[in-house]
Amino acid sequence: MPALGINVQLRRISSRTPLRSTPIAILELATGCEPFGLRRGEQTVFVQERYLRTGEGVPLRTMVENFFTRHRRIKKVSVLSVAHDLSKTYGVPTDRAPLPVPPWAPETPPPLPVTSLHIGPMGRKEETCPLAMRALSLETIARFGRENAIAYMDGSSTGGTGNGGYGIYFLWPDGSTTRKCGPVGEWTCSYEFELMAVTECLRIVIGKQREGAALPGVVILTDCRALALGGSGSECVGEAVLLADYLLKTEGVQTMVQGIASHIGVPGNEIADGLANEGRSMPQPRKPLTLSDARSVLQHGTARLWGAAQLSRDERFPRFYEACKARDYLQCLPRSDAVQIFRTRAKHTLLLADRARHGWSATTACRLCGEREETITHVLSECREIAGDRLSGWSARPMNEILWCCDRVAMSTAAKIMRKFLRRAMR
């Protein structure tokens, strides 16, 4: 369980204040964390799926398979019984693919790839201008030269866990091109069809090499960073690099892997994306469900169960849920501003109008001007006592646009106005 990361996010939007009535559901939404019970159930089913994919005769697999076949006199609830019941709720397919066996012995480390690994210097996609990222990507691709074969590859799936397809666009040194697309299968996660694209890409290179074509080098461009980087460490590599290293050792082709951003207007990547969509619409072959596919199915099931439960209990759920999926500058604000904006969004402030809803105040008149009710809209756009702190044109903007917008300056200013008003009102 990623407990450390979740706790860091929760601490960012929570603080030691006298008001402790912020709903836990909204805290979970703001941090993008499903409830602990759903996350625990997802992990329980995932462990069962991993055990059932081990080899024949492995004690863990035998224990799971024989759990419900034995006659039990005493009825008791265990982890396996909970996992069995939750599997029906999540609807995980039972056609399972075994865990892949690495080509090296368990007691020896994996072979170090000699493939040149280039992960672009663009940084995080969310923090970089798309035009600047496109220009930098094209410049990075141009550095490889026209003497090398350039391979653009992409994958696509329906709903993240539906029908999958891959697309490959090759630009050869002589100016010719090769296009290929195909289906991957039902219940395919995003990582699987990206990996299928790399595999088919290397097959094309091997066929070209065996036909007698002289290839000084091949540059594989992928927008899936997980394929190139297997982890956060500098020594971790992904399956794309290992497959490229295999091609280099067996066929003598110099191979390089380059990570680029997706959907920024790189021509070859857009062509590969269109081919992947064509492959997704083709008849899908039935294939066993890998462990990565099972994880994606469980994650989508958790999101589905979470949304169905919350929509009927809290009318604010759609607003917070859409903010979690969209780009939100809340986490980019300083902690004090983020706490204030979050509590203002949830309408759990120390304003008299909000306190009156809980029965904590008998009056709702503004404590500074006394003209209207002390609401969020009044404080941010109407109260004349703090008019000098507002931005120009502030009163013409709806409050929802200020609190939920992608304007970091406006959100930070709103937080400062709320804090200043409360300090003066509570003297």
Domains of the chain, with CATH numbers? 3-100+295-311 (no CATH), 116-287 (3.30.420.10), 327-425 (no CATH)
- The pLDDT value recorded for residue 9 is 47
- The pLDDT value recorded for residue 342 is 80
- pTM reported for the whole predicted model: 0.56
CA atoms within 13 A on the CB side of 61: 12
User: Structure tokens of 340?
Assistant: 């204030």
State the average pLDDT over residues 187-209.
81
The mean predicted confidence, pLDDT, of the chain is 75
pLDDT at 409 exceeding the cut of 60: yes
DSSP bridge partners of 256 = 116, 219
Q: Are 125 and 266 in contact, with CB atoms under 8 Å apart?
A: no
pLDDT at 294 exceeding the cut of 90: no
Weakest-pLDDT range from 30-44, 65-79, 396-410: 65-79
Of all residues in the chain, what percent are helix, strand and coil, respectively (each to 5)?
Answer: 50, 10, 40
Higher pLDDT, 307 or 254: 254
Q: How confident is the model at residue 20 (pLDDT cuts 50, 70, 90)?
A: very low
- The pLDDT value recorded for residue 160 is 61
Amino acid at 343: R
Instruction: Render pLDDT for 153-167 as a digit per residue (tens, 0 to 9).
Output: 888 877 666 788 889
Higher pLDDT, 426 or 8: 426
Amino acid at 133: M
User: Structure tokens of 180?
Assistant: 């290929």
- The pLDDT value recorded for residue 170 is 92
pLDDT at 277 exceeding the cut of 80: yes
pLDDT at 120 exceeding the cut of 60: no
Q: Measured between alpha carbons, how far is residue 22 from residues 19, 33, 331 in Å?
A: 8, 16, 18
Q: Are 306 and 38 in contact, with CB atoms under 8 Å apart?
A: yes
pLDDT at 65 exceeding the cut of 80: yes
Residues whose CB falls within 8 Å of the CB of residue 366, separated by 6 or more in sequence, listed in order: 352, 372, 373, 374, 378, 379, 383
pLDDT at 101 exceeding the cut of 70: no
Q: Which residue has the tokens 């191979």?
A: 255
Q: What percent of the chain has pLDDT over 90?
A: 4
How many other C-beta atoms can be found within 10 angstroms of the C-beta atom of residue 112? 10
pLDDT at 169 exceeding the cut of 90: yes
Instruction: Render pLDDT for 214-268 as a digit per residue (tens, 0 to 9).
Output: 788 888 888 877 776 654 444 445 666 677 777 767 777 788 888 888 888 888 9
pLDDT at 191 exceeding the cut of 80: no
Rounded to an integer, what distance in angstroms lies between the CA atom of residue 104 and that of residue 110?
Answer: 6
